[in-house]
Structure 1
Amino acid sequence: MHCVSTRGRTPRTALARALVAGLAPDGGLYVPERIPTLDTVQPGATLADTARAVLAPCLDGPPLRDALPALCAQAYAFDAPLRPLARRGDHLLELFHGPTAAFKDYAARFLAGTLARLRPADAPPTTILVATSGDTGAAVASAFHRRPGFAVVILYPACRVSPRQAHGLECWGDNVRTFRVQGTFDDCQRLTKQALADDALRARLPLSSANSISLGRLLPQVAYYAHAALRFFAAHGEPLNFIVPTGNLGNACAAWLARRMGLPVGALVLACNANDALPRFFAGEDYRPRPARATLANAMDVGAPSNFERLRHWHRDDAELRAALRAFAVDDAAIADTIRQAPARHGVVPCPHTATGLHVLERLRAEGDARPWAVVATAHPAKFESIVEPLVGQALAVPPALAATLARPARGEPLAADYAALRRQLQAPA
């Protein structure tokens, strides 16, 4: 597979080189030059089997083609079950069974394995720079922790993640450094993009990214949509529709890609929190990034979603894009009420992000939509116990992998939302 930039000022690039670079030289995001069609793929016995079939046309050259079975076996070692909810036709796609209890685990592990295989044995260490609104950083840290040839630098917005999320970002040590940025996620994202576009810095320090701006994060996420949709279609003979809780739009872009590749994915709806740049756009307003607002669903506190650039690239114009997706904003009061009512209404306890999706599902049902829907459950509710437990009136069991993370000592460093400050830290001796 070859890739091009969304901004059109970078020559076509081999996938392996695009994965290593993270961001295109012109500041755009890499996308496949041609999106493969998968009209003969059958559901595999396991998620790893399906992932291998779906990703094979993308990783069609050496050395990744030969490594694909091992990459999939390692990255998709835990399931992504499609769980029926209390109401017939309602489902939850549970993506929180990995080591950091969030959907980012699948793609982070796949990317780590991929970059390790692409890195020459005699190359200097690569620094993986990642901005996180709560979950990406922990998944990337887990995937690269103590991996030879790599260092990880995490930027997260101070005081804007849950206590357990913060602990999961700061508890690694060794080859992982974590900075509490005095700003928003959008500030963290801006700093990351500045570093990746800094040619002088990259000449001295090999840099890559593990944010959803990386195509190496986006492509692996197609697999779990493919697995759920193929198995559902085989059992019911109709496409499965998805509601995707959305912040930086990477997970939603993966769902769109799955549909575009010919997999039986039906309608796609974005569930946003009070950061409503996307709902406003899909309602007909001009797209305008907005300052990020702090909400209960903090991992979606994004005012300028990077992957919107990919969506625009993939559609002829805004009218075609608006016809492809719908988006709804869910405020904190609705999130809290949905969490409170979810055990009785749906038979589950959701995290605040999953609750945005459940609220949108309830809205669609109230409108008379009778199609089968799956809400994407992006994180385990135990990561947000200070929000969820008071609302449901019970303590939440902590998954063993998350408990192991919380048992580790944690240490982060403060950082101003200033690129010069980040540049100094990146060049400081380890």
Structure 2
Amino acid sequence: MNFYSTNNPALRVGFKEAVFNSMPQDKGLYMPEHIPQLSEKFLNNLDQYTLPEIAFHVANALLGSDIPEQDLKAIIDDAINFEAPIVKLEEDVYVLELFHGPSLAFKDFGARFMSRIMAWYLREGEKQLDVLVATSGDTGGAVALGFLGVPGTRVTILYPKGKVSPIQEQQLTTNGQNIRALEVDGTFDDCQALVKQAFVDDELNEKFRLTSANSINIARLIPQTFYYFNAYAQLLKQDKTKVAFCVPSGNFGNIGAGLLAWKMGLPVTQFIAATNLNDTVPAYLKTGVYEPKPSVATLSNAMDVGNPSNWARIANLFKDDQEELKKLVVGYSYNDQQTEEAIQQVFEKYQYVVCPHTAIAWKALKEWQAENHSDVAGVFLSTAHPCKFPDVFIDEVASAIHVPEAVKDLEGRAKQAVPLSKDFEGFKAYMLEN
């Protein structure tokens, strides 16, 4: 399979180049040159397959002969070695739990798959691969654990000072080995801008073999399609065939992967993009005007993105047909007070604890279903374990959270992070000197 740039459809590269170069020099994003249609037989019988089997079938359709089937199967079996169950909370309301991987966030799917793809391509004696990643919370932890100890790689994580939770910061800054963290005095958008600028800087590219672990990398997007197919498979077992997915959205890679799954044939009735006050996309879906803006800090910090990179992919999927896009994707946004209220409502209604991102998705799903869509099974994505946001919950809710052993193991580990300004020259100097 070849991949093209969203800014230049004539540009074609192979999968390896798309993975390692991450972003074309024209600052577009890579997309598959054609989107394969999965067979009706496979889709109608999804409930007969395990998650790794579904993942292999989908990845093999997208990648073709780029990676031999046996090697691809081994990569998936190693990377996707945890579950993604749907939990029924009430009739036609399900939560898709995506926090059962090592970093307790949905980004384990992308980070683990990508790190193993890169390791498979790397040959002994090749130049070290420098992986740059900007994070608003969960990406950094997933990438850190996904790449920890992977030979021939070094990961540099940029995160906004004071804008990630304490547990997220521990996951970013206590690894050592081939993982290093930069604490940027700015927002996530500033961190993302530094990474993007590095990829088009001649001096950095001459000295380093740079790639990105953000969702701009196509190897992050592909594995995120797996859990949409797997969720639908679980619904089939309950005789549910009409489904809407409600996705808490920041950089829009997650819902972008869902839309890619839809393009491959997954029968989804509706996608709901749920955001916090960083409502660039919901505003666009209502007004038709796309206006990126500076991000603002909220309780749902992983969604604090004012200019979502992956929107370019979504627009490309629909060939900029705004009306067709608005039929399939609707948007809702909520403030912090509404988020806290939703957390409390979920707990009181179901005795179930959700993180602030997940709470926003639940609220949007319920609002959408109330608008004459009660006949559709709604699945809202739980993108992170609630234990990662201890300061958000009142005591009654906090006491109901089971803290995994992986989090307890982080306690007392020393923070290793280098403070930086949001100035590119300072970041570039750090890279060149280290």
Question: Normalized against structure 1, the TM-score is what?
Answer: 0.96
Q: What amino acid is aligned across from residue 87 of structure 2 in structure 1?
A: R
1 CA distance for matches of 2:421 and 2:63? 39
C-alpha distance 261-125 of structure 1, shift in aligned 2 (>3 A): same
Helix, strand or coil: the match of 1:11?
Answer: strand
Q: CA deviation at 1:239?
A: 3.1
1:84 matched residue in structure 2:
88
- 2:203 aligned with 1:200: yes
The counterpart of 2:290, out of the listed 287, 290, 293, is: 287
2 CA distance for matches of 1:25 and 1:122? 26
- 2:346 aligned with 1:342: yes
Helix, strand or coil: the match of 1:58?
Answer: helix
2 CA distance for matches of 1:275 and 1:102? 21
Question: Any residues of structure 2 matched to 1:316-327 within 5 Å, and which?
Answer: 316=319, 317-327=321-331
Q: Which has the higher mean CA deviation after the structures are superposed, 359-368 or 415-424?
A: 359-368
Helix, strand or coil: the match of 2:177?
Answer: coil
2 CA distance for matches of 1:10 and 1:172? 41
Question: Any residues of structure 2 matched to 1:26-425 within 5 Å, and which?
Answer: 26-39=26-39, 40-41=41-42, 42-43=45-46, 45-63=49-67, 65-85=69-89, 87-316=90-319, 317-370=321-374, 371-390=376-395, 392=397, 394=399, 396-406=401-411, 408-425=413-430
Q: Which runs of 5+ in 1 are unaligned?
A: none
On the 8 A contact 2:140/2:172 being kept in 1, the answer is yes
On the 8 A contact 1:297/1:353 being kept in 2, the answer is yes
On the 8 A contact 1:342/1:350 being kept in 2, the answer is yes
Helix, strand or coil: the match of 1:321?
Answer: helix
2 CA distance for matches of 1:321 and 1:50? 27
Q: Which has the higher mean CA deviation after the structures are superposed, 232-241 or 118-127?
A: 232-241
C-alpha distance 175-393 of structure 1, shift in aligned 2 (>3 A): closer
1:12 matched residue in structure 2:
12
Q: What amino acid is aligned across from residue 22 of structure 2 in structure 1?
A: G
C-alpha distance 10-203 of structure 1, shift in aligned 2 (>3 A): farther
Helix, strand or coil: the match of 2:180?
Answer: strand
Q: Which runs of 5+ in 2 are unaligned?
A: none
Helix, strand or coil: the match of 2:282?
Answer: helix
1 CA distance for matches of 2:325 and 2:308? 15
Question: Normalized against structure 2, the TM-score is what?
Answer: 0.95
Percent identity for Structure 1 against Structure 2: 38
Q: Deviations over 1:1-21 (max 9, x none)?
A: 110000016621111210111
Q: CA deviation at 1:67?
A: 1.4
Q: Paired residues, what number? A: 428
Q: CA deviation at 1:60?
A: 1.5
Helix, strand or coil: the match of 2:169?
Answer: helix
On the 8 A contact 1:4/1:13 being kept in 2, the answer is yes
Helix, strand or coil: the match of 2:63?
Answer: coil
Taking only aligned residues, the RMSD between alpha carbons, in angstroms, comes to: 1.6
Q: CA deviation at 1:285?
A: 3.6
Q: Deviations over 1:159-201 (max 9, x none)?
A: 1111111111111111111011111100111110111122331
1 CA distance for matches of 2:138 and 2:256? 18
